[in-house]
C-alpha cells in the first residue's frame, strides 16, 4: 500500500469535483480524503496499491465540469484511513 497527496488546481472548486473524486475513489476501493484549500486548489490524500493509484489519477481528469490545469503528486508516509471522505476546508 502507498499513500499519495495530490494538489489539483484549475477549475476544481464549486463544480462538484470533490464528490466526483469520492465516487472514483469508492469505485476503486481507495481510502483517503479530499478537501478544498483556501488558495483555490483541492487536496486529495489517497491510499491504495500503486497500480490502483495510477488509474485513480488518470480517472480524475474525467470529472465533469472540473478543469484540472495542473496536478502535483507527492508520495507521503502511509496513512490508514477508515474510508474515503470529503473534508471541510482546513482553517489556517
Q: Which residues are catalytic?
A: 18, 36
d(CA 19, CA 2): 22
DSSP readout, 12-56? Answer: -SSSSHHHHHHHHHHHHT-EEEEEE-TTS-EEEEEEE-HHHHHHH
Amino acid at each position: 500500500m502507498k499513500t499519495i497527496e495530490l494538489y489539483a488546481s484549475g477549475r476544481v472548486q464549486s463544480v462538484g469535483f470533490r464528490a466526483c473524486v469520492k465516487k472514483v475513489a469508492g469505485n476503486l476501493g481507495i481510502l483517503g480524503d479530499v478537501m478544498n484549500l483556501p488558495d483555490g486548489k483541492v487536496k486529495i490524500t489517497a491510499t491504495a496499491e500503486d497500480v490502483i493509484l495510477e488509474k485513480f489519477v488518470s480517472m480524475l481528469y474525467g470529472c465533469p465540469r472540473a478543469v484540472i490545469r495542473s496536478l502535483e503528486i507527492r508520495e507521503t508516509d502511509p496513512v490508514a484511513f477508515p474510508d474515503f471522505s470529503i473534508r471541510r476546508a482546513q482553517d489556517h
